[in-house]
C-alpha cells in the first residue's frame, strides 16, 4: 500500500499532497515538514530510500523519493510495495506529467494542482497502484480533459480562455523537471 504521496520543492513548500489515510490538516503539515526535513538533508548521490518518518506510521513504512530539479517526489509505502517498482512509478508519474504539460516544471504543478491530482488518480487509487502504462494513463487523462473542455467551452467561450499554459510572465527559461534523467529499473516495459 502507498500511504501518502507528497510533492514539495527545495524549500519544503508543498505542491501536492495526497494522503491515503486520514490525518488532520495539522498532522498533514507536520508530516510534510518532517518528510522535507528528512529528505532535504540527504546528498544528491545517496540511495532513495529512507526508513520512515516518525509521524507517518510505523517501522513497516519506507519513504521512497526522487529529486527532480526543484521538486521532491516522495512516496510513503509499506513493505508490500517493491522499492524499485515504486521508484519506477515515480519516474512514470513524472514522465506522464512531462507529456501532459509539455516539458513540465514546478510552475505547472503550482498552478495546476488539480490537474496533477487527476493524472495521479489514473495511476494510484486509494493507495494501490492502478495503472503503470504511461500511454494508457495519458489516454484516459486526455479523454477526461477533452470532456471537460467540451462541457466548459459551450459555456465559457465567452469569458477567459481556460488554457493550461503556464502563466510565466517573467519570460525566464523554465527548467524542466526531466532534465535530470534517472536510470530506470523498468518493471513497466518488458
Cα 104–Cα 108–Cα 109 angle in degrees, nearest 5: 105
Window 14 to 43, contacts with other proteins (CB under 8 A): 14, 16-18, 20, 22, 24-26, 28-29, 43
- Cα 180 to Cα 190: distance, rounded to the nearest angstrom: 23
Look up cell 509505502; give the residue. 77
Query: Smallest distance, Å, CB 31 to other proteins?
Result: 11
**Number of amino acids touching other proteins (CB under 8 A):** 66
Three-state DSSP state, 7: strand
55 CB-contact burial (10 Å; exposed 0-12 / middle 13-18 / buried 19+): middle
- Cα 131 to Cα 158: distance, rounded to the nearest angstrom: 37
Query: Smallest distance, Å, CB 21 to other proteins?
Result: 9
> Applying CB under 8 A, does 125 fall inside the site for other proteins?
yes
Query: Smallest distance, Å, CB 188 to other proteins?
Result: 7
Q: How far apart are the first and last CA of the chain?
A: 23
> Applying CB under 8 A, does 84 fall inside the site for other proteins?
yes
Residues found near other proteins in the complex (CB under 8 A): 1, 14, 16-18, 20, 22, 24-26, 28-29, 43, 45-51, 54-55, 80, 82-85, 87-88, 110-114, 117-118, 121, 125-133, 136, 140, 143-144, 147-148, 151-152, 155-156, 158-160, 167, 183, 185-188, 190
Amino acid at each position: 500500500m502507498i500511504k501518502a504521496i507528497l510533492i514539495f520543492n527545495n524549500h519544503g513548500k508543498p505542491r501536492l499532497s495526497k494522503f491515503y489515510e486520514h490525518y488532520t490538516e495539522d498532522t498533514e503539515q507536520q508530516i510534510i515538514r518532517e518528510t522535507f526535513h528528512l529528505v532535504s538533508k540527504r546528498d544528491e548521490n545517496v540511495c532513495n530510500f529512507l526508513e520512515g518518518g516518525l509521524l507517518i506510521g510505523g517501522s513497516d513504512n519506507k519513504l521512497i523519493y526522487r529529486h527532480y530539479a526543484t521538486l521532491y517526489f516522495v512516496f510513503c509505502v509499506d513493505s508490500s510495495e517493491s522499492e524499485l517498482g515504486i521508484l519506477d512509478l515515480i519516474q512514470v508519474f513524472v514522465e506522464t506529467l512531462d507529456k501532459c504539460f509539455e516539458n513540465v516544471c514546478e510552475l505547472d504543478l503550482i498552478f495546476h494542482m488539480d490537474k496533477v491530482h487527476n493524472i495521479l488518480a489514473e495511476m494510484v487509487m486509494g493507495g494501490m497502484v492502478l495503472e503503470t502504462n504511461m500511454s494508457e494513463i495519458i489516454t484516459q487523462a486526455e479523454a477526461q480533459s477533452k470532456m471537460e473542455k467540451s462541457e466548459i467551452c459551450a459555456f465559457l467561450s465567452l469569458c477567459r480562455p481556460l488554457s493550461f499554459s503556464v502563466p510565466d510572465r517573467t519570460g525566464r527559461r523554465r527548467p524542466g523537471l526531466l532534465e535530470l534523467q534517472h536510470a530506470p529499473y523498468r518493471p513497466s516495459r518488458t
